[in-house]
């Protein structure tokens, strides 16, 4: 770097002297970037191929709605911070569970409880196996009390559960079939 600096200073001195005839000076062209290192292209082909999972669902269930929503947000942002693509997220309607507590040695009901089990799903795609194991570990370590997590591959059952059926439309279709079905166009 020092010889280049001296050479540049000499060129500027020559340029200031206008009574001399012009001199053509060429600088050596250096294509070196000091912030990067030259790496040959064949090194990329030597890297091991890491297998990827296509679609993975992270299913979160819990009794407390606020805690579940907060944990879903945490899982979503954690996956994005790990450069894992989150393709979809959805909520399912709560499952209502009725619990009856009987008095001892009788059929009389002592207490009755209604519990709502909320469910949230987060779908991640094209996850490398080494990142998935790390994501699972982070989720397990930060799991709040009363929340259950299951991680599994996406199936058609999950796709069907994602959409809430329209009971009114089903009823109208059943009535149409009872009346003889839809008319066929000629």
pLDDT number for residue 65: 92
The tokens for 12 are: 């500027």
- For residue 45, count CB atoms less than 10 angstroms from its CB and return exposed for 0-12, middle for 13-18, buried for 19 or more: exposed
Domains located in the chain, CATH noted: 50-176 (3.30.70.600)
pLDDT number for residue 17: 53
pLDDT number for residue 157: 76
Model-level pTM? 0.61
Q: Which residue has the tokens 């149409």?
A: 176
Q: What are phi and psi of 14, to 5 degrees?
A: -70, -35
pLDDT number for residue 45: 76
In the sheet that holds 52-62, the strands lie side by side as: 85-102, 109-128, 52-62, 147-153
Per-residue pLDDT of the chain (186 residues; tens, 9 = 90+): 445 555 556 655 555 554 455 555 555 554 555 555 677 777 777 777 888 888 999 999 999 999 999 999 999 999 999 999 999 888 888 999 999 999 988 888 899 999 999 999 999 998 998 999 999 999 999 999 999 999 998 877 777 677 666 777 788 888 888 887 766 665
pLDDT number for residue 36: 59
pLDDT number for residue 9: 62
pLDDT number for residue 185: 60
């Amino acid at each position: 770097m020092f010889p280049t600096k001296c050479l540049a200073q000499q060129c500027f001195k020559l340029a200031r002297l206008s009574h001399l005839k012009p001199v053509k000076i060429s600088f050596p062209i250096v294509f070196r970037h000091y912030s990067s290192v030259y790496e040959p292209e064949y090194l990329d082909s030597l890297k091991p191929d890491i297998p990827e999972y296509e679609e993975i669902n992270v299913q979160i269930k819990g009794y407390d709605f606020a805690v579940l929503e907060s944990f879903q947000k945490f899982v979503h942002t954690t996956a994005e911070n790990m450069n894992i693509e989150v393709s979809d997220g959805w909520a399912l309607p709560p499952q209502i569970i009725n619990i009856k507590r009987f008095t001892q040695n009788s059929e009389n009901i002592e207490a009755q409880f209604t519990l709502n089990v909320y469910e949230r799903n987060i779908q991640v795609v094209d996850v490398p196996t080494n990142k998935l194991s790390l994501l699972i570990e982070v989720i397990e370590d930060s799991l709040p009390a009363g929340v259950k997590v299951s991680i599994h591959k996406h199936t058609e059952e999950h796709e069907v559960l994602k959409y809430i059926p329209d009971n009114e439309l089903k009823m109208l279709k059943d009535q149409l079939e009872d009346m003889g079905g839809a008319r066929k166009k000629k």
